[in-house]
């Protein structure tokens, strides 16, 4: 589903795009904590990115993706999606799997078998193997459907290790292969500096600002009651041609 209505889903018999592998470039981050660095993901050196559809996604993996997306909507620190918490699994599938989906799996060794996403997972639980995931879909219908949009989720347990940047690199590889000529992100909230930093480094241009596009809630210092406030959102664009 998009702002313009339902999208035609990807044919399940369509050949997936070949996997890609990206080296991780850990960065200083306020999201990196000692608990993050003491997880199994601390030994990841690369991520392998796989092109999936709903039918090609193992049920156990789908459950992890849905749980993480639902948690993202619940988190107070979430500054990525405009949806409010409470999305059902069916709503998630209709929204996130409307077109092409890509899932990144952490790799400890670059030479491990990884022809399939199951091979890259190995004997790990999916929640311990997935680095992040994103969709690519048209941002507009009809004559403007060659401009895409994407939505990203990096698992909260592994943030601060350069995974978001690696997923962004893979997006710039895959989106043109899917036939898109450019990408626009409609709402990059000003209070999401980590996302803004990634897109700046990947060569996106801020082409507009929507004042007060994001509604937030905070506790008033005076009486501890909730109060609403609003933050701006950037519109950012990159041409692929």
Nearest of 192, 118, 109, 111 to residue 151 by alpha carbon: 192
If one compares 230 and 108, the residue with the highest pLDDT of the two is 230
- pLDDT band for position 156 (cuts 50, 70, 90): confident
For residue 241, tell me if it sits in a domain. no
For residue 15, tell me if it sits in a domain. no
For residue 235, tell me if it sits in a domain. no
- Over the range 141-156, which residues count as b (16 or more CB within 10 Å of their CB) and which as e? eeeebebbbbbbbbbe
How far lies 175's CA from each of 15, 24, 81, 167, 169, in Å?
15, 20, 20, 12, 10
**Residue ranges of E strands in the chain:** 20-23, 46-52, 100-107, 130-138, 147-154, 182-189, 205-219, 226-239
For residue 27, tell me if it sits in a domain. yes
- pLDDT band for position 2 (cuts 50, 70, 90): low
- pLDDT band for position 78 (cuts 50, 70, 90): low
How far lies 20's CA from each of 44, 112, 167, 222, in Å?
16, 14, 10, 52
- pLDDT band for position 203 (cuts 50, 70, 90): very high
Mean pLDDT of 181-192: 95
Residue 221: the pLDDT is 81
Residue 30 has pLDDT above 50, yes or no: no
Mean pLDDT of 209-221: 90
Q: What is the pTM of this model?
A: 0.89
Residue 40: the pLDDT is 62
Residue 1: the pLDDT is 53
For residue 7, tell me if it sits in a domain. no
> Considering its fold, how many domains does the chain have in total?
1
For residue 8, tell me if it sits in a domain. no
- pLDDT band for position 120 (cuts 50, 70, 90): very high
CATH number assigned to the domain comprising residue 137: 3.40.630.30
For residue 213, tell me if it sits in a domain. no
Range of the domain at 179: 20-185+193-205
């Amino acid at each position: 589903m998009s702002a313009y209505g339902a999208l035609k889903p990807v044919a399940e018999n369509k050949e997936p795009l070949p996997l890609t592998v990206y080296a991780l470039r850990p960065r200083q981050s306020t999201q990196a904590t000692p608990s993050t660095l003491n997880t199994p993901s601390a030994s990841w050196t690369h991520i392998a990115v796989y092109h999936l559809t709903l039918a090609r996604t193992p049920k156990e993996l789908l459950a992890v993706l849905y749980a993480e997306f639902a948690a993202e909507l619940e988190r107070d620190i979430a500054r990525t999606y405009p949806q409010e918490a409470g999305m059902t699994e069916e709503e998630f599938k209709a929204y996130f799997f409307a077109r092409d989906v890509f899932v990144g799996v952490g790799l400890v060794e670059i030479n491990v078998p990884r022809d399939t996403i199951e091979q890259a997972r190995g004997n790990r639980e999916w929640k311990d193997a997935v680095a992040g995931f994103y969709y690519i879909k048209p941002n507009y219908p009809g004559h403007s459907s060659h401009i895409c949009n994407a939505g990203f989720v990096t698992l909260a347990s592994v943030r601060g290790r350069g995974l978001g940047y690696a997923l962004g690199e893979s997006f710039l590889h895959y989106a043109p292969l899917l036939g898109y000529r450019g990408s626009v992100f409609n709402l990059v909230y000003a209070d999401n500096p980590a996302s803004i930093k990634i897109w700046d480094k990947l060569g996106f241009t801020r082409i507009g600002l929507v004042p007060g596009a994001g509604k937030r809630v905070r506790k008033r210092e005076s009486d501890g009651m909730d109060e609403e406030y609003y933050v701006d959102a950037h519109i950012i664009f990159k041409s692929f041609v």
